[in-house]
């Protein structure tokens, strides 16, 4: 009888282990830390803390795309100069792998230019793309191609885009190219560097020529709000994927939901949530692409949290509050130092779990690609 019980126990234990391994296998979707992705898509929700992410779970008509990520980590966002970072230092950490001072664009604490991830991956033959809802010279996209001592040197930053390794971009910022104080026309410079430049039509994908570059400058400065710009972010992201996906060596694409941050600065919950849902929808476009192209690693994170945003119970006129009604609130009009989530799916996804500094994201991407950082000469 005792032998039968032992055999039965071993059978149950083995059965449970097999089921657990099967669940783990399904969750990982054939994407372990040892695999090397061909494509990397980094999505940055500017100002997107955990409460901003949570809003997608409560204000979305359909299910949020955040459910689709099997790996989640946390990053600390402090810059080299301040406990609370700005977007420039945050993006410099992502794009260049080194913490710098607030307002730095692709430079170290001594204002020496750093080698960015676009430089490194372009030497591997990968095409580089940027899609944003801010201007293309703003604090988050700029460190992926430019170097400047201060984030507000927009004309200087714009002048560096034509000769950079970027081959597809979409966003605002037209006036920094053709309405400059120095009277120079950098639209002509973009054309000279083989860009097809569009200042009127929304990107819609289609028959892109892989031998050309494409740039969309669709607003004088930042793009309109989500409710006014329609499906720009999803369409521009899909267009970038259509173009970049033709490169046999793969690509790197950075997509920024820039105005989640702006809604936080305004303490405007409707603005913020509208931008978050637009970003969530775009995450769906990217994950659908990755599902069809499983050699694609998708990472979603933020540079910092903005607004001290909270999804609290509605206590208006009620001592105990209405726990079925959410009343979004803010504690600041600036940034906070709260830890930021990192979501990952695809080859190498396990590398992005845990808790780490924001500049480690750069090194983790290079690690899964089996590349080494390069020093700027």
For 89, 164, 315, the CA distances from 143, given in Å and listed in that order, are: 9, 11, 43
> Count of CB atoms within 10 A of residue 88's CB?
27
For 224, 233, 325, the CA distances from 150, given in Å and listed in that order, are: 25, 27, 43
Which residue in the list 55, 87, 103, 164 is annotated as catalytic?
Answer: 87
Alpha-carbon distance 123 to 187, whole Å?
26
Please give the structure tokens belonging to residue 75: 């990053």
Alpha-carbon distance 202 to 165, whole Å?
22
- Vertex 183: Cα angle to 177 and 187 (nearest 5): 30
For 129, 221, 337, the CA distances from 102, given in Å and listed in that order, are: 25, 22, 13
Instruction: Give the three-state DSSP class for 74.
Output: strand
Closest CA to 290 of 65, 17, 56: 65
Closest CA to 243 of 232, 258, 253, 229: 253
In the beta sheet, which residues pair with residue 218? none
Active site residue 87: yes
Reported as half-sphere exposure (CB side, CA atoms, 13 A), residue 94 has a value of 34
Does residue 101 contact residue 352 with C-beta atoms inside 8 Å?
no
Alpha-carbon distance 297 to 236, whole Å?
19
Q: Which residues contact 313 (CB under 8 A, 6 or more apart)?
A: 321, 322, 323, 325, 326, 327
DSSP state of 89: H
Closest CA to 248 of 32, 30, 106, 38: 38
DSSP state of 191: H
Question: Catalytic site residues?
Answer: 87
């Amino acid at each position: 009888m005792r032998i039968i019980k032992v055999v039965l126990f071993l059978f149950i234990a083995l059965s449970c282990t097999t089921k657990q391994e099967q669940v783990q296998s399904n969750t990982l979707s054939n994407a372990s830390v040892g695999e090397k992705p061909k494509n990397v898509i980094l999505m940055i929700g500017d100002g997107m803390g955990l409460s901003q992410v949570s809003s997608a779970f409560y204000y979305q008509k359909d299910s949020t795309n955040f459910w689709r990520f099997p790996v989640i980590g946390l990053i600390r966002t402090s810059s080299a100069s301040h406990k609370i970072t700005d977007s420039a230092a945050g993006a410099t950490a992502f794009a260049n792998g080194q913490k710098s001072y607030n307002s730095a664009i692709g430079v170290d604490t001594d204002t020496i230019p750093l080698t960015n991830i676009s430089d490194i991956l372009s030497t591997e033959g990968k095409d580089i793309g940027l899609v944003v809802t801010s201007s293309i010279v703003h604090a988050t996209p700029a460190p992926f191609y430019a170097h400047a001592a201060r984030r507000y040197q927009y004309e200087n930053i714009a002048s560096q885009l034509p000769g950079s390794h970027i081959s597809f971009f979409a966003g605002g910022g037209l006036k920094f190219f053709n309405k400059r104080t120095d009277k120079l026309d950098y639209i002509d410079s973009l054309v000279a560097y083989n860009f097809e430049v569009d200042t009127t039509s929304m990107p819609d994908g289609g028959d892109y020529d892989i031998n050309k570059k494409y740039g969309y400058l669709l607003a004088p400065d930042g793009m309109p709000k989500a409710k006014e710009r329609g499906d720009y972010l999803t369409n521009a992201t899909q267009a970038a994927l259509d173009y970049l996906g033709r490169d046999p060596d793969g690509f790197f694409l950075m997509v920024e939901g820039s105005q989640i941050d702006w809604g936080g600065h305004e303490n405007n919950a409707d603005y913020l949530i509208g931008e978050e849902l637009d970003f969530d929808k775009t995450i769906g476009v990217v994950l659908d692409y990755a599902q069809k192209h499983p050699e694609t690693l998708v990472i979603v994170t933020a540079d910092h949290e903005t607004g001290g945003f909270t999804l609290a119970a509605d206590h208006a006129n009620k001592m105990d509050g209405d726990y079925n009604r959410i009343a979004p609130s803010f504690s600041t009009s600036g940034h906070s130092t709260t830890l930021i989530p990192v979501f990952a799916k695809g080859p190498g996804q396990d590398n992005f779990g845990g808790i780490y500094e924001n500049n480690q994201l750069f090194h983790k991407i290079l690690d899964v690609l089996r590349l080494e950082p390069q020093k700027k000469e």
